[in-house]
Amino acid sequence: MNTAKVLQQDLDGKETSGLVKAAVSGWLGTALEFMDFQLYSLGAALVFHEIFFYGQSKAMVLILAMGTYGAGYLARIVGAFVFGRMGDSIGRKKVLFITITMMGVCTTLIGVLPTYAQIGIMAPILLVLLRIVQGLGAGAEISGAGTMLAEFAPVGRRGIISSLVAMGTNCGTLAATAIWALVFYTLDRQQLMEWGWRIPFLSSVVVMIFAIWLRANLKESPVFVQEKEKNIQVAAATDHVVADDHFLSMFRSRSFWIATGLRFGQAGNSGLIQTFLTGYLVQTLLFDKSIPTDALMMSSVIGFFSIPLLGWLSDKFGRRLPYIVLNVMAIFLIYPLLSLIMEPNHGVGLIMVCIIVIHNIAVLGLFALENITLAELFGARQRFTRMAISKETGGLVAVGFGPMLAGIFCHLSGSWWPIAVMVMAYSAIGLLAALLMPEVKDRDLNLLTDAADLHGRG
């Protein structure tokens, strides 16, 4: 009986519990990351201008808040390198325990930071420091969770099972948006600015404790265990240590650049639609704060159906086709939808529907496909490292600096059209990557070569 059959039998028996724990662990980790993402995004858009950036103009406040947000993304790429390499050498489980702890503690500590009124310039400095440490952990969190779950999931169902990790984005976004909405509805302005803004960040401790406990009881990935056993056998037979591929070889891999392009499209759209557009509507166009927050909350609820549907479709029709369709839709729909959103004579209902549609297509839909697609693009030996760095390289520019650049462009032009142009550009990059990508559905994850390399196709 060959190794693949043995692993499949284990999965059908005792490894089933490992799959369940990996799925729940990945879901919780992603939920915590996107809870932090949305907690900070809405905080930056709605209240941080008075708490941490007091005394600046509206345009400068939005740019500074988005720049602080971007500082976390600079740290993410460092975390992707450090923890990605660790994940490929010491194991997925140990690294995922470290990253979830770093993320959770930093998110909670934002809730106890002193304000600008209390300690002056040190307040935003401390905020930046927490965002950097949080970014170090987040840089490998989703990639590690996606790698772990893909390596546990059975062939033919990887898309639908891996969509559970993507569902974490939904749960995190929904929870954060709901908490902010509850705070806005129950507290008056003075209470909100004095202490109410801390509640959303402090509440994340519940998710953190449960996620840390689950990670402590997680089993190691069967693909990683098999790869290490092979290395031990080879080393024993040849009296030589099996060397990893050189780190710089990833930059010669077509799979790496394809994965980076796929991530660039999704992450860029996420930063613009979930982060910048919310702040622009509230601070520049003076929309009621409940309009974008309620729209994103409803969109997240709809995502409970759209995300697993796309995961299932990718199991049926492959990973390329859904990527191509979603990016094309984003390119052609963004301008007319934004036109409807920005028109002051349109009702609140229509505005919210437009936000929901573009959010589900250009953000949630693409993320539903991302984790499993990138995991299948890379070979077993450096999957964690290459997946993490490709995701964070794409995210660094697209998400880390995209909202800040959008703020500058909108301020200089005095209009909203730069948002539409940037979404089109991000989606076009994602579309190009999807067109260049080989079909990777149900690829053998024990293969060492990357899927787009000459000898790694299939």
For residue 9, what pLDDT is reported? 47
pTM above 0.95, yes or no: no
What is the sign of the dihedral through the CA atoms of 73, 422, 144 and 224? negative
Say how far apart CA 184 and CA 445 lie, in whole Å: 47
| Whole-number Å distance between alpha carbons of 355 and 297 | 11
Rounded CA-CA distance 350/340 in Å is 8
Rounded-to-integer distance, Cα 53 and Cα 65, Å: 8
CB-based contact 43:200 (threshold 8 Å)? yes
> SS3 for 54?
coil
DSSP state, residue 252: G
CATH 1.20.1250.20 for the 22-228+248-436 domain, yes or no? yes
CA 238 to the chain's CA centroid: 42
Residue 246 corresponds to which tokens in the numbers above?
């050189």
**From CA 301, how far away is CA 138, in angstroms rounded?**
24
Which pLDDT score is estimated for 282? 81
Q: Whole-angstrom Cα distance, residue 14 to residue 417?
A: 55
Read off the tokens for 65.
């808040």
Please report the pLDDT score of residue 174 as a whole number.
79
- Per-residue pLDDT in tens (0 to 9) along the chain, 458 residues: 444 454 444 445 445 767 787 888 888 887 887 788 778 777 876 777 778 766 666 666 666 666 666 677 778 889 999 999 998 988 888 898 999 888 889 889 999 999 888 887 788 888 888 888 888 888 888 888 888 888 888 899 999 988 877 788 778 877 887 888 888 888 888 888 888 889 989 988 888 888 888 888 888 888 888 877 766 554 445 544 445 556 677 888 899 999 999 999 998 998 898 878 887 888 788 777 778 878 888 888 898 899 999 999 999 999 999 999 999 999 999 999 999 988 767 788 898 999 999 999 999 999 999 999 999 999 988 899 999 999 888 877 787 678 888 888 988 998 999 999 999 999 999 999 999 999 999 999 989 889 987 544 44
**Structure confidence at residue 228 (pLDDT):** 73
What's the pLDDT score for residue 26? 80
Return d(Cα 221, Cα 152) in angstroms, integer. Answer: 6
DSSP 452: T
Nearest 10 degrees: Cα torsion 127, 132, 136, 138: 50
List helix spans (H) across 90-157. Answer: 92-110, 116-119, 122-152
Question: How much is the pLDDT for 7?
Answer: 42
Sequence-ordered list of residues with C-beta below 8 angstroms from that of 349, at least 6 positions apart, any chain: none
Question: Which DSSP string corresponds to 348-417?
Answer: HHHHHHHHHHHHIIIIIHHHHHHHHHHHHHS-STTHHHHHHHHHHHHHIIIIIIHHHHHHHHHHHHTSSH
Distances (CA, A) of 283 to 38, 188, 289, 444: 17, 19, 9, 49
Based on DSSP, count helices (H) and strands (E) in the chain, helices before strands. Answer: 21, 0
Q: What does 19-38 look like in DSSP terms, one character per residue?
A: HHHHHHHHHHHHHHHHHHHH
Torsion of CA 135, 293, 61, 63, to 10 degrees: 60
Q: Which long-range contacts link 448-451 to residues 24+ away (Cβ below 8 Å)?
A: 448/379, 448/380, 448/381, 449/379, 450/253, 450/254, 450/255, 450/256, 450/377, 450/378, 450/379, 450/386, 451/255, 451/376, 451/377, 451/378
Handedness of CA 385, 386, 389, 392 (dihedral sign): negative
